[in-house]
C-alpha cells in the first residue's frame, strides 16, 4: 500500500518535466506535443509558485507562523486585562458633583462663620465710648466696619479675650462708617482697619495694633493693661488690613449709636 503525503502548495501543481517552466515561456522544442497513447506512468507533481508570489512555505514554517499569531493575540489580551478599568461618565459626574458641594459648603461656613462669634456680638457687648473714658478702667478701642474682611476673621479671637478680661478692661467698638466718630478717627490716626488702640485708665494711648496679627499680640497687650503695666509689649505693629478710605462709600449718620 502506497503512502500518500499531503503538503501545502500556494502555487500551481505541475509535472516534474514542466516544473522548470515559468508562466508565459514557450515549451522547449524537444518536448513532444502530440498525445501519447498507451498506459500512462504515474509521476510526481511539483509545486511551482506564481512569479509574483513569495517562495512556498513548508509545513513547519506555516505552523510556526500560526503559533506566532496566537501568541501575539494572547499577549495583547493579557495586556488589556492587566490595565485598570477606566471610570465611566456617571462616576466622573458624581465625583464632580461631590467636589462642588464640598467647596460650596466650605465657602459658606467660612463666610457665615457658623457657630462663631461675629462683629455684631462684639458690638452688642461693647462698652459705650464715653463711659469707658470715665469709669477708671483701661480700655481697648477697636475701629471696625461690617464690610471689613479682616475684622470679621478676627472677631472670634477678640471675643474670647474679651470674655476673659471684660471685668478689668473696657472693650469699645467704633464703626468707621458712622460719621459720629470722625474726630476720633483723626485723633487716633486711623488709616486701616481693624485698628486697636490701647488706653490706660486715664485714657492715654499706650500703643496700637493694626490689621491681621497673631492672637497672642492682642492677648499680651490686654494682659499688660489689666495688670497696670506702664507699657504694652506690642505698641506699634501693623499687619494686613482693609483701607479706611473705603468708608467714604459706606458712611451713615447715626449719632444715637455708639458703634
Report the catalytic residues.
148, 151
The CA distance from 97 to 158, in Å, is 37
DSSP label at residue 10: S
DSSP label at residue 54: P
Write the CB contacts of 154 (distance below 8 Å, at least 6 apart in sequence): 194, 212
Task: Please answer whether residues 194 and 154 qualify as being in contact, where contact means their C-beta atoms are separated by less than 8 angstroms.
Answer: yes
The CA distance from 127 to 142, in Å, is 11
- Report H helices in the chain: 59-82, 89-112, 119-125, 129-132, 149-165, 182-187, 215-227
**Cell for 176?**
468707621
Spatial CA neighbour of 200 closest among 116, 133, 102: 133
DSSP label at residue 178: B
Phi-psi region of 22 (alpha: psi -120 to 50; beta: other; left: phi over 0): beta
Amino acid at each position: 500500500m502506497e503512502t500518500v503525503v499531503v503538503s501545502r502548495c500556494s502555487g500551481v501543481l505541475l509535472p516534474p518535466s514542466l516544473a522548470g517552466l515559468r508562466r508565459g515561456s514557450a515549451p522547449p522544442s524537444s518536448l513532444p506535443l502530440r498525445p501519447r497513447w498507451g498506459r500512462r506512468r504515474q509521476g510526481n507533481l511539483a509545486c511551482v509558485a506564481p512569479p509574483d508570489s513569495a517562495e512556498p512555505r513548508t509545513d513547519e514554517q506555516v505552523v510556526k507562523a500560526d503559533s506566532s499569531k496566537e501568541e501575539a493575540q494572547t499577549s495583547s489580551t493579557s495586556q488589556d486585562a492587566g490595565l485598570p478599568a477606566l471610570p465611566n461618565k456617571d462616576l466622573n459626574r458624581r465625583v464632580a458633583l461631590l467636589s462642588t458641594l464640598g467647596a460650596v459648603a466650605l465657602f459658606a461656613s467660612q463666610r457665615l462663620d457658623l457657630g462663631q462669634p461675629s462683629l455684631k456680638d462684639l458690638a452688642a457687648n461693647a462698652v459705650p465710648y464715653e463711659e469707658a473714658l470715665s469709669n477708671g478702667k483701661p480700655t481697648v478701642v477697636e475701629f471696625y466696619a461690617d464690610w471689613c474682611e479682616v475684622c470679621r476673621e478676627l472677631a472670634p479671637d477678640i471675643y474670647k479675650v474679651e470674655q476673659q478680661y471684660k471685668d478689668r478692661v473696657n472693650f469699645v467698638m467704633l464703626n468707621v462708617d458712622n460719621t459720629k466718630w470722625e474726630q476720633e478717627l483723626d485723633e487716633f490716626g486711623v488709616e486701616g482697619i481693624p485698628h486697636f488702640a490701647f488706653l490706660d485708665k486715664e485714657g492715654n494711648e499706650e500703643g496700637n495694633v493694626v490689621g491681621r496679627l497673631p492672637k497672642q499680640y492682642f492677648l499680651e497687650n490686654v494682659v499688660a493693661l489689666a495688670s497696670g503695666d506702664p507699657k504694652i509689649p506690642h505698641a506699634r505693629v501693623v499687619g494686613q488690613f482693609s483701607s479706611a478710605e473705603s468708608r467714604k462709600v459706606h458712611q451713615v449718620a447715626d449719632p444715637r449709636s455708639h458703634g
